[in-house]
Amino acid sequence: MSKFYTTPITACFFRLMTFCFITSALFNTTYLHAQGSKTTLVSSPDGQIKIKISVANKMLTYAVTYKNTPVILPSVMGLMVNGKTFGRAERLGTAKSYVINQTYTINGVHNTAIDHCNGKKIQIVSSEKPLTLDVRAYNNGVAFKYAIANKGDAVISKDITQFNIPAGTDVWSQSNIQYYEGLYKKKGIAAFKAGELAGPPATLELADSKGYAAITEGGLIDFAGMSLTASGNNGFTANLTGDTKKTGAFDSPWRIIEIGADLNTLVNCDIVTNVSNAPDPILFPQGNLTPWVKPGRSVWSWLAEKQAITLDNMKHFSDLAAELGFEYNLVDEGWGNWKDGERDKWAMMKDLVDYSAKKGVKVWVWKAYPDRNGIPGINTPEKRRDFFKKCKELGIAGLKVDFFDSEAQEIIAFYRDALRDAAKYELMMDFHGANKPTGENRTWPNELTREAIRGLENGAPWAPGNVTLPFTRLLTGPADFTPIHFGNRLGEVTWAHHVATMVVFTSPLMCLGADPQSILDNPCKSIIQQIPPTWDETIVLTQSKIGELALFARRKGTTWFVAGLNGTSDAKSLNIPLSFLKKGRYTLTILKDVPDIQANVTIENSKITAAQSVSINMNKAGGFVMKLEQAGK
Tens digits of residue pLDDT in 332-364: 999 999 999 999 999 999 999 999 999 999 999
For residue range 426-453, what is the model confidence (pLDDT) as tens digits?
999 999 999 999 999 999 999 999 999 9
- Dihedral sign, CA of 83, 87, 91, 94? positive
Question: First-to-last CA distance in the chain?
Answer: 60
Size of the chain in residues? 633
DSSP letters spanning 387-423: HHHHHHHHT--EEEEE------HHHHHHHHHHHHHHH
Please state, as a whole number, how many other Cβ atoms lie within 10 Å of the Cβ of residue 210.
18
Please state, as a whole number, how many other Cβ atoms lie within 10 Å of the Cβ of residue 49.
25
CA-wise closest residue to 300 among 366, 204, 224, 392: 366
Query: Could you tell me which residues come within 8 angstroms of residue 454 by beta carbon, excluding any fewer than 6 positions away?
Result: 174, 181, 182, 183, 184, 465, 469
Q: Is 111 left (phi over 0), alpha (psi -120 to 50) or beta?
A: alpha
Grouping H, G, I as helix, E, B as strand and the rest as coil, residue 79 is strand
**pTM metric for this prediction:** 0.93
Q: What is the pLDDT of residue 129?
A: 84
For residue range 565-612, what is the model confidence (pLDDT) as tens digits?
999 999 999 999 999 999 999 999 999 999 999 999 999 999 999 999
- CB 574, CB 543: distance < 8 Å: yes
CA-CA distance, 613 to 615, in Å (whole number)? 7
Q: What is the pLDDT of residue 610?
A: 96
Q: What is the pLDDT of residue 36?
A: 60
Q: How many CA atoms lie within 13 A of 100 on its CB side?
A: 18
- The mean pLDDT value for 386-393 works out to 98
Please state, as a whole number, how many other Cβ atoms lie within 10 Å of the Cβ of residue 185.
14
Q: What is the pLDDT of residue 128?
A: 78
For residue range 68-108, what is the model confidence (pLDDT) as tens digits?
999 999 999 999 999 999 999 999 999 999 999 999 999 99
DSSP letters spanning 557-621: TTEEEEEEEE-SSS-EEEEEE-TTSPSSEEEEEEEEEETTEEEEEEEEEEEEETT-EEEEEE-TT
Amino acid letter, residue 321: A
CA-wise closest residue to 548 among 474, 459, 466, 626: 466
For residue range 535-562, what is the model confidence (pLDDT) as tens digits?
999 999 999 999 999 999 999 999 999 9
Per-residue H/E/C for 92-152? EEEEEEEEEEEEEECCCCCCEEEEEEEEEEEEEECCCCCEEEEEEEECCEEEEEEEECCCC
CA-CA distance, 430 to 425, in Å (whole number)? 15
Work out the mean pLDDT of the chain and round it to a whole number.
94
